[in-house]
Structure 1
Amino acid sequence: MMEKPCLVVDIGSAYCKAGWNGGNSPSLRVPSVVAYLPFSEDTRPRSMQLKPVIGSSNLSIIKELPTEFVISRGAITNWDAMEFMWHYIFDELNNKPNDHPILITGLLPKDEQSRQRITEIMMETFNVPSLHIGNQAELALFGAGLLTGTVLECGAGLTHIAPIFGGQVISNSAIICELGGLDISLLLYKSLINKEAEMKHFVQREAMEDLKEKFCYVNKTPIQEESSSNTNSTEVRFSVLPDGQVVSLTEKHLTYPNVLFKPSQFDLPGEELSDQILKSALSSGWNFKSIFSNVVLSGGSTLFDGFPERLFRDLCRIRPGFRSSEVISWPNRIDLPWIGGSILSCLSSFKSCCITREKYNEEGKDAVQ
């Protein structure tokens, strides 16, 4: 069964990443958005149908159409659209899914219904020979070359703090917050464009993502944070949006990523990030010293300039007396869960982790553990 390469798919609120195991990075990145193109199968008058449009190669079309985001806060919101996305991924990678094992990651850890639904689709629609649904945090730590530590996964829709010992998440001590990069984008959008509106279209979200990547950063020290929060700052940067609109960004706009560390500063609920990491480690039991000693960053929202330095400073400030934490920030941390899946699926032991088609045929949804 494992002689053929495994296809590794990491699903996320911003992108789905896919590629063959053994690689150092995914070969395909698909925006987690679907547009719908009206069409008619013939020229006779009849009601129009909607054709889903997916993929980076179709962005010029997607930008002109109504769009729907397939994944929100770590949960799949439209299963038909998700299935279309999997079809697109398999086609782009020239993969016949009934010939290759599949590893999927990116789901909320305790979302048992989604795990069962994915297994059902993969087995009955795509007829895959075997399937493994991996824990994103465990795979991220594995991708970083560790088996024990804390993973801080901060993506588009969620912040996930996961204490891990010996390669296994201590699930009762994990913390999930509905706060991520999209919240920074929304702060920018409301402040710069329309304070009463939401980002409901891909073009709006993409414009704010571009601003974030070009200009935004995290304050490394309290002095910098106090300075950037001063609304009287006169330094302004200008940027032109895709629609031609010119926006002016003050220092306050540029440091919106500070919300990930201190939500209350932006009138959002939630404790300070460092406090939650320490709470998670302390509640994990007698292993908390080794778990707290390595904090591995994962996800695109940890890529802001100043993020690792700010986290290290905050953890040093609150750490217990036993030892400090090392913040591990690999340059490829946006892909760590995929990389971990790529490594895991190359191991001889991977076969025992999979649900085979035969097992699914015998046990159905009960095969999902």
Structure 2
Amino acid sequence: MTANTIVIDHGSGYLKSGFSGWNEPQMIFPSIVNYRPCRENPGPSSAQRQLGLGIDVFHPDTFSYPIQRGRVLNWEGVEHMWSFVLEKHKWEHEVSPVLFTECPLKEPADRKKTLEIMFESLYVPSLLLADQLEMSLYSSGLLTGVVVDSGYGLTRVQPFHLGRPLQAGCTTLEFAGQDLSAYLCKSLFKDDVNAHKVFRLHMVGTVQMNQCYVPQNLGEALDFLQGLPGGSDENNTYQLPDGTSAELTPMQRLAPEMFFSPEVFNLQGPSVSQALMDSIKTCEASLQPLLISHVIACGGNTLYPGFTDRLYKELATNHSAGTNATVWVGSKRNFSVWLGASVVAHLSTYKSEWMTKEEYNER
């Protein structure tokens, strides 16, 4: 495709977009829409309400996520977001070709609806629908390996051999970043109904970014944090809506442990590391050593300090893994899907998979 191909990776938590060939997306924003009441319809009904992006400061409790757990629940919302992206990326007053990444959980009806919106409503000249995990594989420069992708709505494991997915090893876990946020929100605010929803999101996000990490050993980390004198870390104290201060508990700081010990947080297993090892074991015995040595960690949750070290530790100490375990990480792994798609947009090997508006009309 041309150099002005637009790459869109729309996840449950964030939308990433930009022109192919770049080293990072030019636009990254939360996958959130809001419905503002208007004069014609001041009530809660959706009819004639004004649709907007993000959180409206004047009506902060009207927002929602149109994609949840990798599934589109609000097509009007996602179309509004795609329209905004294409308008911002217009090239010399024309809409560019679009490479759009699809979640592996896609249904045939979802693909049909995506094509309908892109060609009939947004008038894109040509479109390529690409698998998200396959794009993550290519962003690492590898053709064989196991992709471990943990984002906002889903955690997924998929082995590949020479660029082809080994479907028997595909695993999808419905716990991810939003579950960590929900745990922190519930434990920080408890029954404080006066805490504004937007304030909760902001505070939880701050805690996640600045204080949370994955311990290498949960018991030892708990003993260490519990042994610290109260108030010894000023950055660990937060102001609550009622004006009181609260200090994070050890389990709040160690909340990303849920990816490795989901049972501790009353979540359904298996853990990320167990899902990874089970996935590898489903593959042919001759491929397993190669897959173990090419584990690709990506997604926003893998950025937590200690995440990739813990994943390697649990993989290497597994009896079947041996000493060949290797976890490949990149500094921009929180948008590895977009990076891989940015490369694929220029590959001639994918030329036959692009669909033009004319071909869509014929079908």
Change (3 A) 1:38 1:180: same
Q: Deviations over 1:26-73 (max 9, x none)?
A: 0001211111222348xxxxx994211215xxx563763511111111
Amino acid at match of 2:299: G
Corresponding position of 2:145 = 149
Q: Deviations over 1:315-342 (max 9, x none)?
A: 1111416542111121110010000000
Corresponding position of 1:36 = 35
SS of aligned partner of 1:297: strand
Q: Deviations over 1:53-95 (max 9, x none)?
A: 215xxx5637635111111111111000110111111122235
Amino acid at match of 2:308: P
CA contact (8 A) 1:66 1:201 kept: no
Output the CA distance in 2 between the equivalents of 1:204 and 1:112. 37
Q: Which stretch of structure 1 is more off in the superposition, 158-167 or 350-359?
A: 350-359
Corresponding position of 2:12 = 13
Corresponding position of 2:268 = 269
| 2:65 corresponds to which of 66, 69, 73 | 69
Amino acid at match of 1:50: R
SS of aligned partner of 2:146: strand
Q: Percent identity?
A: 30
Corresponding position of 1:215 = 211
Amino acid at match of 1:339: L
Corresponding position of 2:160 = 164
CA contact (8 A) 2:97 2:126 kept: yes
CA contact (8 A) 1:15 1:31 kept: yes
Change (3 A) 1:306 1:322: closer
CA contact (8 A) 1:4 1:99 kept: no
CA RMSD of aligned residues (A): 2.8
Corresponding position of 1:302 = 302
CA contact (8 A) 1:156 1:180 kept: yes
In the TM superposition, 1:278-357 aligns within 5 A as 278-285=277-284, 286-320=286-320, 323-357=323-357
Alignment TM-score, normalising by the size of structure 2: 0.88
Note if 1:176 corresponds to 2:172: yes
Alignment TM-score, normalising by the size of structure 1: 0.87
Deviation, 1:127, is 1.9
* Contiguous gaps of at least 5 residues in structure 1: 42-46, 364-369
Give the total of aligned pairs: 353
Corresponding position of 1:240 = 239
CA contact (8 A) 2:14 2:28 kept: yes
* Contiguous gaps of at least 5 residues in structure 2: 41-45
Output the CA distance in 2 between the equivalents of 1:306 and 1:83. 37
Runs of 4+ in 1 over 6 A off after TM superposition: none
Deviation, 1:202, is 5.0
CA contact (8 A) 1:137 1:162 kept: yes
Deviation, 1:259, is 0.2
